[in-house]
Structure 1
């Protein structure tokens, strides 16, 4: 996720989520986790192999990066193409409420406890696809955007009021650090000249020109 990335926003899962389906006596337990690297994604599989040591399969798929360049899947003993690929398709083709297909930084693992009834290749594809899709239907999602970060200095006595005023105006305040003499608020804004200019005007009004905004660079920010 460097500054040269074409993508300026994407969708991911908000933390961990678990969902279970029973299909013809087989249990399909889907785990979704927000991850930032292939190491994180594989760590989830390893974690669930220990937790569900008695399960028949631990199939997995993940997508990484704002540009979604890293996509992997694993059938873990199911017939080739019947588990990992349907799971990956469910992640990659997932549409958000806004109609976007930009889900990323997410790992899905489906733990299967075999129920004694063979599903066949087509049945397995449907089962693994439905397991991930159903989990995504219920899981909390959030947007991540590349935003301009600004630092605003204020007196300790004025910092709380300024933070409330900015939040009320729809500005995303990331937090406030209190130093020995001043408090510094960190805010995130869309990196657009008109939006930034309007923010500077609003800040001047709120503080009677007493506070300036220091450019702290561009960062990926969770937008809930």
Structure 2
């Protein structure tokens, strides 16, 4: 990835991109996902939708600095489905993504080479149809202060155009902010030097 604090992912799900090869039908799906639970739930939904299909092969990649990935052939010959799909995730340099290719067998065997090509092509077409966006890698901080220091905290948040993701404004105030990675140290220092305002990374 070119800039150290950005990454590419897809904005919304892309569904049902069809590729045909010798009577077999391959349907490609791409989903933005943030964790393995989301992966599981997407797969379960697809298996219900396509309960008559023969294979639900997939690959996913999660994370920006620490990467977690998995490729699954789901009964196809070893490395003939999951890895070609994962290869396209790498080729398009996207993360936090799940790609599933659902196959309906058409009666004609494709052979390992044919399968690799079909799964790769379906994944590629699915990604080409997806809206790929660039996001920044952020760090989250929790700022804690008494209500009387609210104006000071809010002034800095406004000046630095910081993104508030959560807030509890009572006698004890807590605000969670999300800061672009390359600006994170500077923002931390500003709050850290303030009397009566605590900041910690979460």
TM-score band by shorter chain is 0.5 to 0.7
Is residue 2:84 matched to residue 1:86? Answer: yes
Is residue 2:98 matched to residue 1:107? Answer: yes
Deviation (angstroms), 1:13:
2.5
Deviation (angstroms), 1:94:
1.9
Is residue 2:119 matched to residue 1:119? Answer: no
Distance of aligned partners of 1:193 and 1:122 in 2 relative to their CA distance in 1, 3 Å threshold? closer
Distance of aligned partners of 1:19 and 1:144 in 2 relative to their CA distance in 1, 3 Å threshold? farther
- Could you tell which deviates more after superposition, 20-29 or 145-154? 145-154
Contact 1:148–1:216 (Cα < 8 Å) also in 2? no
Distance of aligned partners of 1:174 and 1:19 in 2 relative to their CA distance in 1, 3 Å threshold? farther
Aligned counterpart, 1:10: 7
Measured in 2, the distance between the counterparts of 1:21 and 1:196 equals 48
Measured in 1, the distance between the counterparts of 2:115 and 2:79 equals 9
Distance of aligned partners of 1:27 and 1:215 in 2 relative to their CA distance in 1, 3 Å threshold? farther
The count of aligned residue pairs is 188
Distance of aligned partners of 1:84 and 1:68 in 2 relative to their CA distance in 1, 3 Å threshold? farther
Contact 1:56–1:114 (Cα < 8 Å) also in 2? yes
Distance of aligned partners of 1:26 and 1:41 in 2 relative to their CA distance in 1, 3 Å threshold? same
- What is the root-mean-square deviation of aligned Cα atoms in Å? 3.9
Measured in 2, the distance between the counterparts of 1:178 and 1:72 equals 38
Task: List alignment gaps of at least 5 residues for structure 2.
Answer: 144-148, 191-196
- Using the size of structure 2 for normalisation, the TM-score is 0.68
Map 1:59-98; keep pairs closer than 5 Å.
Answer: 59-95=57-93
Contact 2:140–2:176 (Cα < 8 Å) also in 1? no
Measured in 2, the distance between the counterparts of 1:215 and 1:10 equals 30
- Using the size of structure 1 for normalisation, the TM-score is 0.62
Contact 1:19–1:134 (Cα < 8 Å) also in 2? no
Measured in 1, the distance between the counterparts of 2:75 and 2:181 equals 47
Secondary structure of the residue aligned to 1:132 is: helix
Task: List alignment gaps of at least 5 residues for structure 1.
Answer: 1-6, 96-102, 201-213, 220-224
